[in-house]
Chains A and B, each alone.
Chain A
Amino acid sequence: MKFRLASSPHQHIRRDTGQVMRLVILALVPGVLMQTWFFGWGTIIQIVLAVITAVATEAAILELRKRDFERALKDYSAILAAILLAVSIPPFAPWWVIVIGTFFAIGIVKQLYGGLGFNVFNPAMAAYVMLLVSFPVQMTQWLPPMNLAQYSHDFMDALYVVFTGFSVEGFSLAQLKTDIDGVTMATGLDTVKTGLAQGFTFSEMIDFPIFDSVISGLGVASSWITLSYLLGGLYLLKQKIINWHIPVSMIMGLFVCSMIMSLVDSDLYPSSLFHLFNGSIIIGAFFIATDPVSASTTNKGRLIFGAAIGVWVYLIREWGGYPDAVAFAVLIMNMAVPLIDYYTRPRTYGHSSNKGKPINKAQS
């Protein structure tokens, strides 16, 4: 019998980039559907606009760079970045916001750095920060969840608002933002941030209509959306598209910080449950921070990377100027990735772990 000698890897079934990206997009579907259910058709319209812009930008720039754009388009990476950006921005933001954002994500953040595999920063999050810094008004126009809104809106309304700023019946975005009591409504994180500044305690605020009445601290809409993204994230884990290190350490980072501070003073510092089920921490942990290009590449590094993002999210949410912070935290840690990777290089086979020198046989 003859044994064939082959060098590793011995597992030959490998997925190409396109398959991986398609699976990630598939895993996003439950979250996107849930978001559409609560916030209306705007989300879908934003995704369509973003994907069209992303593909056009990617094709145009690859053509300029004289690269094979057909192959690059088939890997779905631009489409995935576009979808991630589209679900991050308010569903009824004007059309030019998502177009500028996607162009920035693909054109500047991804292609100017050399295309897929070379971008230092996460394209979707860099574009999100750019939009948030540039258009603070448009980027904070979150509507109340459908069941709490004063005026219901359908697909045509969403289309009209995105392109003209007014719904079919002529309601402006500011009017659509009012809830059943006629009060303008913000997101859960925003409510608590402004409420704390006005002197409310956290336990008073969790009775507000934006929060669930059964389990205190959970957002009415955001907890369902978060659970749907969690479902998609667990699917990715099961399919071995992502490793557990980044999501787990990121969630733990936020959980531990918020638990400690909540134990210190539960009136001023919201509970851990509130932090995990409001805002974008789950989609950030499973879909955004795990970006294979801009995240750390060693297992130990991934743990540090994720935990640091969790801590940053907490710091910025509590003491920063913005209600949510996943995008900022991811960008800050993207900058630290080369350093993390440098100090967490795994041991090479045949070398001792310290200083990468060959093992001294006399010692072993």
Chain B
Amino acid sequence: MSEFKELSWQGLWKNNPALVQLLGLCPLLAVTATVTNGLGLGLATTLVLIGSNTTVSIIRNWVPSEIRIPIFVMIIAAFVTIVQLLMNAYTFTLYQALGIFIPLIVTNCAIIGRAEAYASKNTIGKSAFDGLMMGLGFTVVLVLLGAMRELLGYGTLFDGANLLLGDWATSLKITVFETESPFLLAILPPGAFLCMGLLIALKNVLDSHMERLFAAKSEDKVVQRARVTTES
């Protein structure tokens, strides 16, 4: 059980694919102009990660290590195609909004990285769980980034959520402030870089804060020193 706990901790925080490993930056920075886009791409990536991790784990004992990379890439490409067709069928507007970045999930280093580093060495259950957690960690960052940029850029949150979640989600849209002139920098890629930098900084601050808390706690313990010299 602690293995699963460790996997969640690694995927969501300590080894977060977006904030720590800085993998898959291209879709991360390109499509997160709104929360909906971020969430859509995050979920698609998560699905691909779970699928590819599971499959790679299943066949790990039969793949010759010399040609493992092409095989992993083909597996990932197959899952990306499935997700792409599903999105084309059920969330067509979002599919159009995300455009080239859905097929580009194939090139997301986070996916092949997990296949190579984890799934090809571990059992099916653990690999699938690792894919889920890594995907969720990626999704959380995408959604946060999308929220920051949408809030700064358009002054709204969850605009267009109905494209992803169905018509009921239209009421999710929150208008924080009205603006006639959108803050284009936040919507354009430079804004994504700036927001990403701020998120990473925030994570580092939290980390050092927690470290200090932890250090303070351990200092409280009274340590009994062992006597090393004999009294003469």
Contacts and interface: CB of A to CB of B under 8 A. Distances in A.
Interface of A: 100, 108, 130, 133-138
Secondary structure class of chain B's binding surface, majority of residues = helix
A130 B194 CA distance: 12
B181 A133 contact: no
B118 interface: no
Contacts of A138: 181
Interface in B58-100: none
A138 B194 CA distance: 23
B194 A133 contact: no
A108 B183 contact: no
Secondary structure class of chain A's binding surface, majority of residues = helix
A83 B185 CA distance: 22
Contacts of B194: 108
B181 A137 contact: yes
Interface of B: 181, 183-186, 188, 190, 194
B181 to A, nearest CB: 6
Contacts of B181: 135, 137-138
Most interface-central of A100, A130, A136 (chain B CB within 10 A): A130
A108 B27 CA distance: 24
A356 B124 CA distance: 60
B189 to A, nearest CB: 11
A130 B183 CA distance: 10
Nearest to B197: A112
Contacts of B184: 133-136
Contacts of A136: 184
A134 B194 CA distance: 14
Contacts of A130: 185
Contacts of B185: 130, 133-134
Contacts of A134: 183-186
Nearest to A94: B181
Contacts of A135: 181, 183-184
A134 B183 CA distance: 5
A136 B182 CA distance: 10
A136 B188 CA distance: 13
B201 to A, nearest CB: 8
Nearest to B182: A134
Q: Closest 5 A-B residue pairs measured CB to CB?
A: A134-B185, A134-B184, A134-B183, A130-B185, A135-B181
Contacts of B183: 100, 134-135
Given A108-B194, A134-B184, A138-B181, 8 more contacts: A100-B183, A133-B184, A134-B183, A134-B186, A135-B183, A135-B184, A136-B184, A137-B181
A100 B152 CA distance: 11
